[in-house]
Amino acid sequence: MLSVLGMLFDGIAYGMLLFLMSVGLSVTLGMMNFVNLAHCSFAMLGGYVTVTLMNDAGWPFFATLPIAFVAAAAASVVLERVFFRRFYHAGELPQCLLTIGIVFVSIAAAAYIYGTDQQPVQLPDYLQGSLHLMGLDFAVYRLVLIAIALAITVLLVVTVEATRFGAKVRAAVNNQRMARGLGIDVDTLFAVTFALGSGLAGLGGALAIAMLGLDPSFALTYLIYVLIVVAVGGLGSIAGSFAAAMLLGVADLAGKYYIPAFGSILIYVVMLAMIMVRPTGLFGRR
CA 201 – CA 225 distance, rounded (Å):
13
**In sequence order, what are the beta bridge partners of 137?**
132
Residue 13 or 282: the one with the smaller Cβ distance to another protein is 282
Which of 122, 129, 185, 264 lies at the binding interface for another protein (CB under 8 A)? Answer: 185
- Minimal distance, residue 149 CB to another protein, in Å: 24
Taking a C-beta distance cutoff of 8 angstroms, is the pair 100, 93 a contact?
no
Contact between 90 and another protein (CB under 8 A)? no
Q: DSSP of 55-75, one letter per residue?
A: HHH---HHHHHHHHHHHHHHH
The stretch near another protein (CB under 8 A) out of 41-49, 112-120, 162-170, 248-256 is 162-170
Which of 58, 135, 183, 260 lies at the binding interface for another protein (CB under 8 A)? Answer: 183
Q: How large is the angle between the packed helices 186-212 and 39-57, nearest 10 degrees?
A: 50
The stretch near another protein (CB under 8 A) out of 5-13, 167-175, 217-225, 269-277 is 167-175
Residue 122 or 175: the one with the smaller Cβ distance to another protein is 175
Which of 171, 220, 239, 266 lies at the binding interface for another protein (CB under 8 A)? Answer: 171
Taking a C-beta distance cutoff of 8 angstroms, is the pair 211, 252 a contact?
no
Give the distance between the most distant pair of CA atoms in the chain: 59
The DSSP element (H or E) to which 176 belongs, if any, is: helix 176-181
Contact between 174 and another protein (CB under 8 A)? yes
Q: What is the CA radius of gyration of the chain?
A: 19
Contact between 243 and another protein (CB under 8 A)? no
CA 120 – CA 51 distance, rounded (Å):
8
Contact between 167 and another protein (CB under 8 A)? yes
Which of 179, 230, 271, 274 lies at the binding interface for another protein (CB under 8 A)? Answer: 179
Residue 174 or 217: the one with the smaller Cβ distance to another protein is 174
Amino acid at residue number 164:
R
**Which 3 state secondary structure label does DSSP give 173?**
helix
Contact between 163 and another protein (CB under 8 A)? no
**Which 3 state secondary structure label does DSSP give 137?**
strand
Contact between 186 and another protein (CB under 8 A)? yes
- Minimal distance, residue 53 CB to another protein, in Å: 39
Contact between 170 and another protein (CB under 8 A)? yes
Interface ranges with another protein (CB under 8 A): 164, 167-168, 170-171, 173-175, 177-186, 285
